[in-house]
Structures are given as C-alpha cells and as structure tokens.
Amino acid sequence: MAMIGILLKKLQVAKFKRLKDQLQEIRMLVKKAFIYSLLAAITLVPWNATAVNRFSFGNLLPKSNLLSKPKLNDVANVATNLAESLLVKGLLEISEGKTKQALSTIDQLIQSVPNFKLAYLVRGDLLMAQSKYLQSFGSADSNQTEAIQDLQDEARARIERYLSKQVKEKQPNLLLAPNAQQKHLIVVDTSKSRLYLYSNEAEQLKYVADYYITVGKNGVIKQAEGDKRTPIGVYFARSKLKQPLPDLYGEGAYPLNYPNEWDKENNRKGSGIWLHGTPSNTYSRPPRASDGCVVLSNHDLKALQPYLQTGKTPVVIVNNLEWLDSTSSNTEARKNELSAAINKWLNDWRAQDTGQYLSHYSKDFSSDGINFQKWAEHKQRVQASKPNVEISVSDISMFSYPDSEKQLVLVDFVQDFKSQTLKNTMQKRQYWIQENNSWKIIYEGAV
C-alpha cells in the first residue's frame, strides 16, 4: 500500500508540473498576442480619433512614469530611453485617439532629438489627421515609398522592445563565459534590432543597457563581399579607428574581426564589418539599411565607447535570440561539461598519450588547410618519443557560437608550453563541437 501511495503522489506531482507548464505557455501566447495586437493597432489601423478609439491599451501599460528621472547607474542609457519613451508615449496616445496630447509629446521628442526622422513622420501624420482621414501610419505622404515602410519597421522594433521588459531580468540562452580581463560583453539580436550590453561581475553577467541598432539591407548570414548582409557569429571589437572617416560613419567606427576563423573555414568572404554611428543629419537608420555593419545612433555609440576601448570586447551576433530565467542552470551545465572536456584534453596532451589526445578532435577537424589526418600524423611524429612537457592554460573564455546546424562553442585561452626544445606563450583559439553527446575540437589555431 505504501508503494501505491508513493506512485500516486509521483503521478500527482507530474500532472501538476504539466498543468503549470501549460499555463505558462498560455500566458506567453496571450502576452505575445497582446504585443502584436498593439503593434498592429499603432502602425496599421487608421489614425483619426474616431477610428482608433476602439483600440485602448493605456490600462495595460506599465504604471510608472515614462519620463521619470533615471537612476544614476542608468545615465549611459538616458537619451535612448527618453527618445523611445517619448515615441512610444506619443504612439499610444494616438492609439487612444488623444491626438493633441500626442502632438505635444512628439514635439517634445523632436526638440530633444532634432534629427529623428521617424518622429517627423509621426508629426506629419498628426498634422494631416486634423484635416483628413489617414488610412494608416505614414499615409500623410500619398506616395507610400520604401522609406515610409522602413520607418514603420523602425517604429515596430522600438515599440516591441519597450513592451518587452523581461530582458533586464533574464539571460540570453547562450553559454557566455568571458574571462576576468573581459569586463564587458555585447550580444546583438538582429531579429529585434537590438544590442545588449552586459558587465562581467564575479563570473556573472549583469545587464547594463540595450540600444536600437541597424543591420544589413539584405538581412543576415553574410556569405560574400558586397552582399549587404550582417554576419552571424562571435567576433571581437577592435579599437576605434583613428583615421578620418566619411560622415556616413558618424561618431566613429570599431572594426569586428570578420571574417573570423570559422567564417574562413566555411568560405565566407568579405570584410569591413564595423560597429559605427550614423550621419550627422540622422538620429537613427531603419532596421535594415546598412551594407552589413551594425549601426547605432551617435549618442549610443558614445555610450558604448568606454567598453570598446580595450579592443577585445566580445560581440556575439545572433538571429532570434532566446532568453532564460536568471535562475536557469542550463548554461552552467554546458559550461561544466565543456570545462571537463578541456581539462581532459589538456591532461592527455601533458601525458603525451597520442591516442587519447587525438580522440578529442573531430574527424572534420581543420586548421589553416590542415585536415585531421595530417594533424594526427604530425602529432604522432612529435609525440613518438614522449618528451617531457609542461603545459598550462589561463584566461579561459567560452562563447556559444550561433549556428543553425551545429552546437558550437568558441574557446579562447593563453597557453604556456615548455619542452627541452621549445618554450612559448601564445593566445590560442579553439572551436568545440558537440558530436554524439561528446565535445570535440573542430578548429584550433593561434590568435
């Protein structure tokens, strides 16, 4: 009887967990439906007061004052928050038919950010709405051009971010483990036109700020020179370019190391992918408007400047970023598994156990034109006499590498090697891939 009681209890617990998961899924669907309904109401339906009064979402907005004074530790993000708060406030006032209040809000926005093209589009619509019926957002201009569509897309991206408050409390669903020298980390979500800045505090990532960004005209997954696409991957921002640049780049430019090792292994071409600003007469550009670079407003680029000066800030560019609760242990488990694999690889190398050492490499391994077979032959010759070696690694960092087909992690470390014939210290980079539930090295080389 006791056993039956235990089984019944387990069944009840499992049933409760399924119900809880289903409820959470329903909540997410309702939230998503609300967001997209609001976006549609603001950017698609007619804007005159009579037509939009039926779309009243004010009671569902955050109750805090949109324009309240920011805290001191939020100063780096003040102008961006102010501009987006005023924009969203104005659009929501329009959705409730409060066109006079909306015009006042948008005028305040233009006074704060005089070169914000989207704000002028909204203002033009509001003025025209006083004398005629507008079919949709941006229809004050009778010619519905591609430029109008671009500004509509920017409005949607900014509103969606404003309504998505969870990014401050959640963590990206990525293994992100910078070393102690890497004080900050950047994650770019191209699908949401957003850049997120994190600080590295005691091996924990802490949200600092996020900014609206522009990516390539033709989207993402760069393959060739001139394809106007933004690459997806893990890159490192170099120091700010010192030479004079055209006004197109605004406040300045920070080159990324595209193409990186994995790009080259996959025959991806092109160059000149930068983080840079906007022209002096432009506050921001549409979500898809660059030649492949990641573009921020000049103010936002200035705010990022202190974190990019080291020339080694990681920049992880992802499409459709997923989020985890801050309490989730998924990424920690992945880090521990990979750390164990790295330690085993290192110990087998120290022991000069060639067979075991090579077992840590994928059969698809490649490094600067050397395939696994050639790598194995080289290591067998070098380790045949089992020389005494001293090997240590330090400053290890790990970053999930966005790849739709493979589970990859980029691993960097400083390697110290000593033998009777060789002594050197080098920065090494490896790409580890999960094959049959085991971690293997698919690329290795000096940085």
Q: Can you read off the two tokens belonging to residue 178? A: 């910078």
State whether residue 317 is helix, strand or coil. Answer: strand
- The DSSP-derived string for 157-194 is HHHHHHH-GGGGTEEESS-EE--TT--EEEEEEGGGTE
Which helix (H) or strand (E) is 308 found in, with range? helix 298-308
Which helix (H) or strand (E) is 373 found in, with range? helix 372-382
Confidence grade of residue 378 (pLDDT, cut at 50, 70, 90): very high
Q: Omega into 259 within 30° of 0, i.e. cis?
A: yes
Tell whether the model's pLDDT for residue 69 goes beyond 70. no
Tell whether the model's pLDDT for residue 139 goes beyond 90. no
- How far CA 211 is from CA of 16, 18, 35, 216, 221, in Å, comes to 40, 37, 20, 17, 21
| C-alpha to C-alpha distance for 270 and 267, rounded to whole angstroms | 10
Domain at 330-446: CATH architecture: Roll (3.10)
Is the model more confident about 159 or about 359?
Answer: 359
Is the model more confident about 142 or about 246?
Answer: 246
In the chain, domain spans:
17-163, 176-325, 330-446
Q: Who's near 379: CB < 8 A, 6+ residues apart?
A: 354, 357, 358
- Does the 176-325 domain belong in CATH 3.40.50.300? no
Q: What are phi and psi of 203, to 5 degrees?
A: 65, 20
- How far CA 28 is from CA of 16, 34, 156, 163, 314, in Å, comes to 18, 10, 19, 13, 31
Which helix (H) or strand (E) is 209 found in, with range? strand 204-212
**Mind listing the pLDDT tens digit for each residue in 228-248?**
999 999 999 999 999 999 999
Confidence grade of residue 389 (pLDDT, cut at 50, 70, 90): very high
| C-alpha to C-alpha distance for 382 and 412, rounded to whole angstroms | 24
Tell whether the model's pLDDT for residue 49 goes beyond 70. no
Q: What are phi and psi of 9, to 5 degrees?
A: -65, -40
Specify the length of the chain in residues: 447
Q: What percent of the chain has pLDDT over 70?
A: 77
Q: Can you read off the two tokens belonging to residue 270? A: 């092109």
43 touches 156 (CB < 8 A): yes
Residue-level pLDDT at 36: 44
